[in-house]
Amino acid sequence: MTTLDPEVAARLKRNADGLVCAVAQRRGTGEVLMVAWMDDEALALTLETRNATYFSRSRGKLWVKGETSGHTQRVHEVRLDCDGDTILLVVDQEGAACHTGAATCFDKDRLL
Amino acid sequence: MTTLDPEVAARLKRNADGLVCAVAQRRGTGEVLMVAWMDDEALALTLETRNATYFSRSRGKLWVKGETSGHTQRVHEVRLDCDGDTILLVVDQEGAACHTGAATCFDKDRLL
């Protein structure tokens, strides 16, 4: 198991499930691609491998983005927010970010 | 109480606390400003007034962004993600988005 730098771990404010929110943004255009969740190991792996890795709440396990679809995210920046409960990833997205095949998870349903 | 359009409400996938995640992004630059939470009423008010309104988990009540600081968010677009649990707001931010006075909540702590 890859462990997270204790200094970083100490700054995280995890929810009741031990997770922090993660927003993936496309490098260059700034498009918001998707929002997912990370546990400490997902964040440690993301920092170490630079391949965005999340924790799947539905499957209850780590999930390397694109491991089956090929739609990987190469990570260029990782930022933690002011209260330690949200991560921002700046990524180069391979192919579609959304499992529906859309470029981003926010493409299809505009309320305003 | 302002109520949410039932067709929109039916598409939301709320967490155990009845909330969806909300990402605010600056119009034009695409900067991710902050991440917060909304209940149905916060979303309804945001759509109706175009002033970003969230649900404060710490205070347990609605919170019009900038109501005390003046750092309001004028909302230009609202999008719902593919699985209905995250909202993307495209906003014109007045002043600092972060309560620390930083332009965004992600300015100060870069992990990579």
ipTM, two decimals: 0.97
A77 touches chain B (CB under 8 A): yes
The number of beta carbons lying within 10 Å of the beta carbon of residue B105 is 25
Name the helix (H) or strand (E) containing A90. Answer: strand A86-93
Is residue A67 situated within a structural domain?
Answer: yes
**Cα separation, A57 vs A63, whole angstroms:** 10
Is residue A72 situated within a structural domain?
Answer: yes
> Does B98 show up as a binding residue in the annotation?
yes
Number of domains in chain A: 1
Is residue A106 situated within a structural domain?
Answer: no
**Each residue's pLDDT tens digit, A16-31:** 999 999 999 999 999 9
Range of the domain at A70: 6-93
**Each residue's pLDDT tens digit, A59-105:** 999 999 999 999 999 999 999 999 999 999 999 999 999 999 999 99
**Cα separation, B43 vs A11, whole angstroms:** 30
> The domain spanning residue A38 has which CATH number?
3.10.20.810
Q: Is B42 helix (H, G, I), strand (E, B) or coil?
A: helix
Tell me if B3 sits within 8 A of B44, measured CB to CB.
yes
A62 touches chain B (CB under 8 A): no
A103 touches chain B (CB under 8 A): no
- Look at A79 and B110 and tell me if their CB atoms are within 8 Å: yes
Is residue A28 situated within a structural domain?
Answer: yes
**Alpha-carbon dihedral sign for residues B28, B29, B33, B38:** positive
> Does A85 show up as a binding residue in the annotation?
yes
Closest Cα in chain A to B75: A112
pLDDT at A1 over 90: no
Tell me if A94 sits within 8 A of A66, measured CB to CB.
yes
pLDDT at B86: 98
Dihedral pair phi/psi, residue A22, rounded to 5°: -135, 125
Is residue A37 situated within a structural domain?
Answer: yes
Spacing of C-alpha A73 from chain mean position: 9
Q: Work out the pLDDT band at B7, boundaries 50, 70, 90.
A: very high
**Each residue's pLDDT tens digit, A37-64:** 999 999 999 999 999 999 999 999 999 9
Is residue B29 situated within a structural domain?
Answer: yes
- Closest partner residue to B106 (CB to CB) among A8, A88, A98 is A88
Is residue A53 situated within a structural domain?
Answer: yes
- Look at A81 and B106 and tell me if their CB atoms are within 8 Å: yes
Is residue A108 situated within a structural domain?
Answer: no
Antiparallel, parallel or unpaired: β A53-56 and A32-38 = unpaired
- Look at B112 and A77 and tell me if their CB atoms are within 8 Å: yes
Average pLDDT over residues B21-33: 98
Lookup result for tokens 């965005």: A52
**CB contacts, 8 Å: A80 with chain B:** 106, 109-111
**Cα separation, A74 vs A94, whole angstroms:** 8
Spacing of C-alpha B99 from chain mean position: 14
Tell me if A104 sits within 8 A of A95, measured CB to CB.
no
pLDDT at B99: 95
- Look at A79 and B106 and tell me if their CB atoms are within 8 Å: yes
**Each residue's pLDDT tens digit, B57-112:** 999 999 999 999 999 999 999 999 999 999 999 999 999 999 999 999 999 999 99
pLDDT at B1: 76
